[in-house]
Structure 1
């Protein structure tokens, strides 16, 4: 496929921190993607959840299925716009590597515990994983990804700039000190695509999962923008369609509208700006990949609905409290008794000559746990576990 001039061209990559021979049959960005897929952190996403805890049902999304869906959306949008689909896919597959067990609930708990030690942020933790914590290669720690892949992971939410009185997450600070990721600029168009593909994927599948869980029903979605017209269109075309097919047909239209909107807006902005290089993309005064203002406002209404009816539903809040207690129990226990950490972590513990470094090691370990393993470890170490609903 012919790449646009503003795409990331593999032959122009800034390379890897640790120099390696080029592959004879894979581009640098294909190699990034493959290393991410084969990483231990990627496999663990199978048992890390989005909203519902892993044991609650086989049909709910996990971080792994979510990442695959994000990668599919990213490849589609990138291909249409003439961007590098391999790089967009690699960034999409890596974007959630740093997530804790129990989704954002686990992250909130760990961030609170790590507040005295530099905080915790899952995007920054993903960088820590791919630059330090994956330890399989003889010549380096991490995955030795290209600069472009690291940039995309680091800037998943846009430029990273500390505000007044703020400091950057330590994981980003350390990685950036070793190799300047130009955190103050916007990322490549491929990275921007991966970021908005994340928004599209979770907006779509959270509606699916919320319906399946019974936290709301189709009648609720009929009253919302975007989803309401989608159900109405399906009813007009297929009167009397059975419930599950009706649901799928409506939500695939919601999905399609989001993707088509992003592509249309990107084409308009690219035609207006006429960028001639990825450098031009990074230097723009905003993202080139975004939703239109009308759709963005409509999606805000849907997210507000999901926040109230799903993310903060009473049954979900009960589970949030239960798993928060698990993280709050495990972290101080490992801080007080680091000898309880697995043997492969002992060298790091022995080298930790400050309380802060020990806290970071414990955070790395706890953050890497799957939902299932965290619950099992809590039961083993405390001889009990909060009751499962």
Structure 2
């Protein structure tokens, strides 16, 4: 039984292209399955979070991250009586629009695309699922339900209006073109919050990357367990493991401590959400959307502690000297590929040439080039750059 404030499958606002109901699957189960089978989802295997894909087999990729986010989202949604299939679908789709080379690649492409309508990975995910996936006979994209599209667009909160978070807000008159394009076709109510399921996907993203960036940073040698002993959240977790398992070998100690960090985050979110839902008593998903605030969040004490951990990760991992060196190299790859394709669009693969021929000017051409470059994996972008510029791959340079 779903809670009254959950997204009910039989009350979905439907799809842009009507297909009728499936015999065996709910609308949100179909959305989830289509996302898993999408080409863009498979490409996440070779797109990275922090490290570039060639740097090690143990570091998270966008694919493993998305699977971890989906697992957390299903757990939280299930406890709260929400629709687990919708939460999972949004979680699996939330990173589809990411460029190669993580946030470094996105920063570069956003700068390059600024004269042509901008670039935002959430908006690009919408473009992928509504336009760029071209496998079905009756429509472009995946023809997902309104609720899943809303969740992709607004899982981080309203995009416009007074309740929009400054980190994710956009001027309604100057939305990223990919978001504006979808919103013009189907109003996603960008000034309201999303469903509780989408909010769960967003917090699951925070939980997953906070947890796995600690794992990956330790494995890379950018910091040590002793460094984490001095931080809130992580320090008490290591201390608890040492009390229970004195003399435990290093890898088991690390895993036991970080799984406790993971557990504390999930339990905190569930506890806070239960209290806030009990106090608000929402009777429908639309009441969730119009509350003016998020219902799914960390407690204030844990949020402040996690800010300290993230500040540590920013300095010691995201801005570590070795990471910054690679950031500079891959930024150069993006800075050279994009203008080259703009000057010589004939270099794009044959299957892209029909779109190039139909482009009505420089802006449309730039958006096609942006789609192509954003869709590249780390590996392919490095290989193409080396081939087109007749140089050694950046992964092999000192």
Q: TM-score, normalised to structure 1's length?
A: 0.99
Q: What's the secondary structure of 1:69's corresponding residue? A: helix
Could you tell me how far apart the structure 2 residues matched to 1:332 and 1:237 are? 58
Q: What's the secondary structure of 1:7's corresponding residue? A: coil
1:166 deviation in Å? 6.9
Who is 2:183 aligned against? 176
Who is 1:351 aligned against? 358
Matched, 1:17 2:23: no
Matched, 1:85 2:84: yes
CA-to-aligned-CA distance 1:124-143 (integer Å, 9 cap, x gap): 00000000000000000000
CA-to-aligned-CA distance 1:278-321 (integer Å, 9 cap, x gap): 01100102000000000000000000000000000000000000
Who is 1:246 aligned against? 253
Matched, 1:312 2:319: yes
Q: What's the secondary structure of 2:295's corresponding residue? A: coil
For the 8 Å contact 1:46–1:64, the answer to whether it is kept is: yes
Distance 1:4 1:164, change over 3 A: closer
For the 8 Å contact 1:123–1:156, the answer to whether it is kept is: no
Who is 1:145 aligned against? 144
CA-to-aligned-CA distance 1:10-29 (integer Å, 9 cap, x gap): 00000000000210000000
CA-to-aligned-CA distance 1:303-353 (integer Å, 9 cap, x gap): 000000000000000000011111111000000000000011111111111
Deviating 4+ runs (over 4 angstroms): 162-166
Equivalent of 1:210 in 217, 222, 227: 217
Could you tell me how far apart the structure 2 residues matched to 1:119 and 1:347 are? 23
Who is 1:255 aligned against? 262
Who is 2:303 aligned against? 296
1:118 deviation in Å? 1.1
Who is 1:118 aligned against? 117
Any gaps of 5 or more consecutive residues in structure 2? 161-168
For the 8 Å contact 2:126–2:179, the answer to whether it is kept is: yes
Who is 2:165 aligned against? none
For the 8 Å contact 2:192–2:292, the answer to whether it is kept is: no
Matched, 1:267 2:266: no
Q: CA RMSD for the aligned pairs?
A: 1.0
Could you tell me how far apart the structure 1 residues matched to 2:387 and 2:321 are? 28
Who is 1:335 aligned against? 342
Any gaps of 5 or more consecutive residues in structure 1? none
Give 1:195-206 correspondences, 5 Å limit. 195-206=202-213
Who is 1:222 aligned against? 229
Alignment length, in residue pairs? Answer: 388
Q: TM-score, normalised to structure 2's length?
A: 0.96
For the 8 Å contact 2:159–2:170, the answer to whether it is kept is: no
